[in-house]
Amino acid sequence: MENESLKNMAIKELLLHLADDDFIHAYRGSEWLGLAPHIEEDVASSSIAQDTMGHAAIFYQLLEEIGEGTADRLAHDRPANERRNAIILEAANGPGHYMKDPDYDWAFAVVRNYFYTQAKAIKIQSLQSSSYEPLAEVAQKVQMELYYHLMHWKLWFVQLLGSDHEEAVSKMKAAIEKTLPNFAGVFSLGQYGEEMVEQGLIEGEATLRKKWIEAITPVFESVGLVTTFEMGMAKGDGRNGVHTEDLETALETLSEVYASDKAASW
Amino acid sequence: MSTVLINSDEIYKLLEDVKDPEIDTVSILDLGMVEEVTVSGPDVSVKMLPTFLGCPALPIIQKNVETAVKQLPTVRNVSVTFLRCPSWTSDRITEKGKAGLKVFGISPPPRQMKKDGSWHIDCPYCESKYVTMENIFGPTACRSILYCKACKNPFEAMKPMIKMI
């Protein structure tokens, strides 16, 4: 009986990691709408944000199916301390607000997008052989869409770092410095991690992280960067409900409409 | 009074008229979105595959399918559901669907990619191979933007969505 509930907790927590990561990541992506460096990028990055929101929605749907409440409530009506997303994904795009004086950091967007998309690709790959069948099915579909996201962000990453343009290169390096200290949170499986691995839901943190480094190392080398990836969770582990004020502010904004009428149909 | 049996062929016939909300020359059948139609007495169930998970047209398509099937007076209930499995792939688009895409000025997706993941698309207007990719992402999740160097037309192409990627 206890084993059964532990198993269910592991599935629930893993789905929350996946859904909450994609949800806030898509939200941060959508804040770039109208502000991206050029119009083609505006089209591309908002298309990626839309796909990613679709991924969050299907993960919330899976939670709905195991009785965790409706997808809408899960997305819009949970306080920050109940969220499970990695802290690096909630960090604001930069100073200012998208409606007023946005001073967003494109280099940070590129680095975070590329690092996260590569990490997601590795997790999704692993989930395709998940013992939890509904998740394995969803992973197949997500993988096909993710292929294009990864191609896109890798291109930006390589072009900016390989540009020989001093400003671009230094901004990108600063963005990498900003991202890595909290990037370990993306691989964290939280307090039910062992159970997840034991149940065959997903591979372990160390394996996922190793695969990420293997995937990203040749790309770093291609732009002449030294490849030491010292990543941490400086601001804490989002999987345990630890978050920053950036998440609070984002949730307030994105839930504004839902909060005004929770019974409205979407 | 005898009961009139609903034939699933009749349902498919109605679904031919349900077009992609943004590409009115292609039906959802020709896009390969319909996986299964089952008839149980007066109740009809249509199982569909989403093209892209975040496609905002899905609820519209769902509603249009319901409306179309309900045209048959003998139908009592219609349920339209999106399946998670199998995944929709672009090679489900029929020849008729590809022709319909071209009429709309959209190149159909190629069946295969090269080993390095690249693919080739011809201009839907002049058939030229002399084209450049302007943006893998387009006005909708499933489309890319290209430019034909021969006839100087910008055009769109449907992205290949293939299992191997």
Convert the pLDDT of each residue in B49-69 to its tens digit.
Answer: 999 999 989 999 999 999 999
Q: What is the pLDDT of residue A266?
A: 58
A137 contacts in chain B (CB < 8 Å): 84-85
Of B134, B137, B105, B108, residue with least CA distance to B121: B108
A91 contacts A24 by C-beta, under 8 angstroms: no
Candidates A145, A146, A266: best to mutate against B (most CBs of B within 10 A) is A145
- Closest alpha carbon within chain A to B58: A54
Candidates B55, B84, B90: best to mutate against A (most CBs of A within 10 A) is B84
Contact A144 B89 (CB under 8 A): yes
- Residue A72's contacts (CB-CB under 8 Å, 6 or more residues apart) are A258, A266
A108 token code pair: 């940070």
Of the pLDDT bands very low, low, confident and very high (cuts 50, 70, 90), residue B1 is: very low
Q: How far is CA A184 from the centre of its chain?
A: 12
Q: Report ipTM (2 d.p.).
A: 0.88
Contact B165 A147 (CB under 8 A): yes
pLDDT digits (tens, 9 = 90+) for A131-141: 999 999 999 99
